[in-house]
Amino acid sequence: MARALYSLVLRLALPLALLRLWWRGRREPVYRQHLGERFGRYAERPGRSVIWLHAVSVGEARAAAPLVRALQGAFPESDLLLTCTTAAGRTALAQIYGDRVRCAFLPYDLPGPMARFLAHFRPQIGIMMETEVWPNLLSACRARGTPVMLANARMSRKSARGYRRFAWLARPAFGSLAAVCAQDRGAARRLALLGAETVVLCGNLKFDVEPDPAKVEEGRAFRAALRGRKVLLLASTREGEEALLLDALGEDDASLLVIVPRHPQRFDQVAALLAARGLAFARRGLGEAPHAGKRVYLGDTMGEMAFYYASCDVALIGGSFQPLGGQNLIEACALGAPVVLGPHMFNFAQATRQALAAGAALQASDAVEAMRSARALLGDPARCAQMGAAGIRLCAAHRGATERHLAVVRALIEAPAPAGVRARAPG
């Protein structure tokens, strides 16, 4: 009954969802492509068995990279299908993995489209990244005998409260998961309370992500070419945060401010904001260089965070100056960038606590305090070096989540199908 009501609401909202896709397609044309996939209609049927991993958008696509490599090495006889929901996610999948994997949009969570998706690809296993729990999808997988695991699972207190408000729908969904690989003990406890039955503490896959060596080298060369000019990075900023941080910037013209918006559809918006404030800036996406007269360098490119972190002296992490939960700070730590965080890091609570305890990060109460802390660090190379080294040590100490995830995948694939369900097709 609960799923039937949920499905009815989705069906009623479908015209609005399609209008939204078309509207967003003005700036991101990929939203207007592959529309049939949103309804479970795909062209080529795979000829081999399929391992399926769902990464909703860019962050999950990048976090999945070490697990994707491990799966390709452990199951060379299988095709790897990666699904996503957003246009940026699909672009990221293509950039990161190229033609080594199959890419597709996951359908809307309606019984018919999900049944067609599963019938077409016949996956041995489904791997959902971080917080992706879809009631109709999980029900269809369970009916077909397809085990689904939640990988790199996180669950903040705020998110858990939201799920509890819809426990009538959420508990059966979490209970349908064959396994949950939790990032930390707090997430594991909250996921178990929401109904997940098999919860394994596996750690955070993001500690296993290897930065692109070519981008790291390019970033270091960029920094060297600045001839000692300090670089302050505003990384993965979200709506409204650029204005807050620019208001707190101050009048120091010596350093170069690099701004990398989180979403590509906002690149032009941020450029317009900089122009309106009379700030001279260069755009990386146009191949422009930040000469001495340029105060700001706009990082309007995708898939280059390794470049930006390798080129900076201090990194402020976006998504944390509005109540949005923050963005990934681990890649910055891995490349030895001292990190300054805003007050809202609840989506990365464990990694934040670890970085603060290790001395790799500072946390500020607002944008003004964050800018003050960042400027102090720019003037203190010794402390920057200490924080950078602490971040590198932190990441080295917490690697190993990939192997623990892979062990869970192997166990689920090798387990016999439960009685009373249709056997999984071999592909």
Cα four-point dihedral sign 189, 191, 193, 197: negative
CB 70 within 8 A of CB 216: no
What distance in Å separates the CA atoms of residue 285 and residue 371, rounded to the nearest whole number?
A: 26
What distance in Å separates the CA atoms of residue 57 and residue 48, rounded to the nearest whole number?
A: 26
**Cα–Cα distance list, 87 to 10, 62, 104, 199, 222 (Å):** 21, 15, 11, 31, 30
Per DSSP, the residues of 164-211 read HHTHHHHHHHHHT-SEEEESSHHHHHHHHHTT-S-EEE---GGGGPPP
Quote the DSSP letter at residue 128.
E
Instruction: Provide φ and ψ at 127, rounded to 5°.
Output: -125, 110
Q: In what order do the strands lie in the sheet with 296-298?
A: 281-283, 296-298, 256-261, 231-237, 314-317, 339-341, 361-363
Cα dihedral: 33, 135, 188, 89 (round 10): 0
Given 28, 60, 132, 241, the catalytic residue: 60
Residue 402, burial from CB neighbour count under 10 angstroms (0-12, 13-18, 19+)? buried
Question: E strands within 248-299?
Answer: 256-261, 281-283, 296-298
Q: Identify any residues that bridge with 278 across adjacent strands, giving them in sequence order.
A: none
Q: Is 60 a catalytic residue?
A: yes
Q: So which residues are the catalytic ones?
A: 60
